[in-house]
Amino acid sequence: MSKVHNFSAGPGILPSEVLKEASESCLNFDNMNLSLLEISHRSKNFEAVIDESRSLVKELFEVGDEYEVLFLGGGASTQFAMVPYNLLTDTGYAAYVNTGVWASKAIKESKIIGNTKVIASSEDTNFNYIPKGYEVPKDADFLHITSNNTIYGTQMKSFPKSDVPVVCDMSSDIFSRKINAKDFSLIYAGAQKNMGPAGSTMIMVKKDILGKTGRKMLSMLDYQVHIKGGTMYNTPPVFPIYVSMLTLRWLKKHGGISWIEKINQQKADLLYNEIDRNSLFIGTTAVEDRSNMNACFLLKDASHEPEFDKLWKSMGIDGIRGHRDVGGYRASMYNALPIESVQVLVDAMKAFETKFA
């Protein structure tokens, strides 16, 4: 079978060795002669998976016992509501930075819970840059930011200094670069970009920010309930958590976040250099805010798109059509995408220029 170069924005590419081990577990997990998909989530074998998954997150982020790690269902979209539900007080307010569709959705949910203020936004130019120079209020209950914007191809290259707890949606660039995780009070991410298949969301939360809202909490939406239940208050998404554990093992084995950050930078440099060099293509975002995970670009002459589409498909490339809100093309270069796949896309762009320039 010929290789497919998978640039899907999500669910995204996973390491081949992870897929192999995960598939084997569906037939015989942990030498139990039972499928991972049919064992009890309360078994010692799966409890070991939960424990290792949570431990790996803390190890890779270099944080201690002041943080708890949860793997929950409901996607990052549920976290849009759970974050303000657990952190926003009746008398306080939440501060948000709006950098795209997912940040906008988070703001919408927070406004249902309580007082919510947008302190900075790039909506004025269809989210093609990251706002800068704004002041973080010192009296907010928390600040919410989105580190990487999958649809628009922007990424925060640095994070705001804050006297209030910082919450970050890292769904599309988690574990892709070194950060000081201790600067954040809560990090959440859907697994389906850099960790595993769709179906699980990782939350890493500093325990001392919880239990301060004064409201009586619904059990399924209460972080403290899930922490007390060892992230198994209800039946967890077993398979996505297991695959996430395997991916985190893969990352650790090869050198951790420092290792993958260098590779991700090489991939991004390779593609963005071609976008800037090629006379037929143009990037869509502010150069200083370009995402290393999701590179968005256009053909200067949109009438050439059908021909370019034929070319990249013939070269085994998949998943680079842009989101409808931006158009053009989007190459998602998550951790597991090899640099060889990026080179194939660059070769396609060069070949297209030779033919049509």
Residues acting as catalytic residues:
102, 169, 193
Q: How far is the C-alpha of 257 from the C-alpha of 248, rounded, in Å?
A: 10
- Encoding tokens for residue 130? 């990251």
Q: How far is the C-alpha of 280 from the C-alpha of 299, rounded, in Å?
A: 6
Q: How far is the C-alpha of 340 from the C-alpha of 356, rounded, in Å?
A: 24
Beta-carbon contacts of residue 60 (< 8 Å; ≥ 6 apart):
175, 248, 251, 252, 256, 257
HSE of 326, CA atoms in CB hemisphere, 13 A: 31
Q: How far is the C-alpha of 292 from the C-alpha of 147, rounded, in Å?
A: 11
257-260 contacts at long range (C-beta below 8 A, 24 or more positions apart): 257/60, 257/175, 257/176, 257/177, 257/178, 258/178, 260/175, 260/176, 260/335
- Encoding tokens for residue 189? 């991410």
Asked if 310 and 355 touch (Cβ cutoff 8 Å), the reply is no
- Dmax of the chain from CA atoms? 66
